[in-house]
Amino acid sequence: MKYFMRAIRAVLGPLILLWDKAFPAKPITREPAAQGEVDEAAQGLKLYQFLACPFCVTVRRQMKRLALPIETRDAKRCEEWREELLSEGGSPKVPCLRIEEAGNVSWLYQSKAINEYLEQRFAA
Ligand SMILES: N[C@@H](CCC(=O)N[C@@H](CS)C(=O)NCC(=O)O)C(=O)O
């Protein structure tokens, strides 16, 4: 079952990347001052992700749709990010959003929860 799911993801990953390129998310537009505030708030967020993970693609599309310049950290190719995700977040699963606010850090797993969090915090 584990290998079957892995195979499904290996096929789905590149397909979803292609689909994402062909039909990119359309960013919302904000007044420059409002976008400036969003840009600043987004500095406290980091997305730990894999390039071809379908769940990560949905979060990256949400980021793009909401015009959020959130740094992405590849936890597959970069050992440093992978280890940080595991040791500080508690699990190697992606996507995971690292949220830093007023010096407090929390780690949000599950694409649906991340997309809802971004929607609630940043949708106009
Ligand atoms: N239900 C999760 C699924 C996340 C998931 O399965 N991620 C895979 C990559 S596509 C993963 O992290 N695999 C690595 C691991 O489990 O260690 C979500 O929606 O975020």
Question: 48-57: per-residue pLDDT in tens?
Answer: 999 999 999 9
Measuring from each residue's beta carbon to the nearest atom of ligand 1, which residues come in under 6 Å?
Answer: 9, 50, 53, 55, 92-95, 110-112
Model pTM above 0.85:
yes
On the question of pLDDT at 11 being above 90, the answer is no
Report the alpha-carbon distance of residue 119 to residue 63 in Å, rounded: 9
Nearest atom in ligand 1 to 92's CA: 17
Residue nearest to atom 13 of ligand 1 (CA): 93
On the question of pLDDT at 124 being above 80, the answer is no
Residue nearest to atom 4 of ligand 1 (CA): 94
CA angle (65, 46, 78) in 5-degree steps? 115
Q: Which domains does the chain have, with CATH numbers?
A: 2-24+32-122 (3.40.30.10)
**Mean pLDDT of the region 5-9:** 84
Report the alpha-carbon distance of residue 95 to residue 70 in Å, rounded: 13
Express each pLDDT in 59-95 by its tens digit: 999 999 999 999 999 999 999 999 999 999 999 999 9
Do 54 and 13 form a contact (C-beta atoms < 8 A)? yes
Hey, which of 53, 56, 117 would you mutate to test ligand 1's pocket, going by the most ligand atoms within 8 Å of its Cβ?
53
Lowest-pLDDT range of 1-15, 21-35, 53-67, 96-110: 1-15
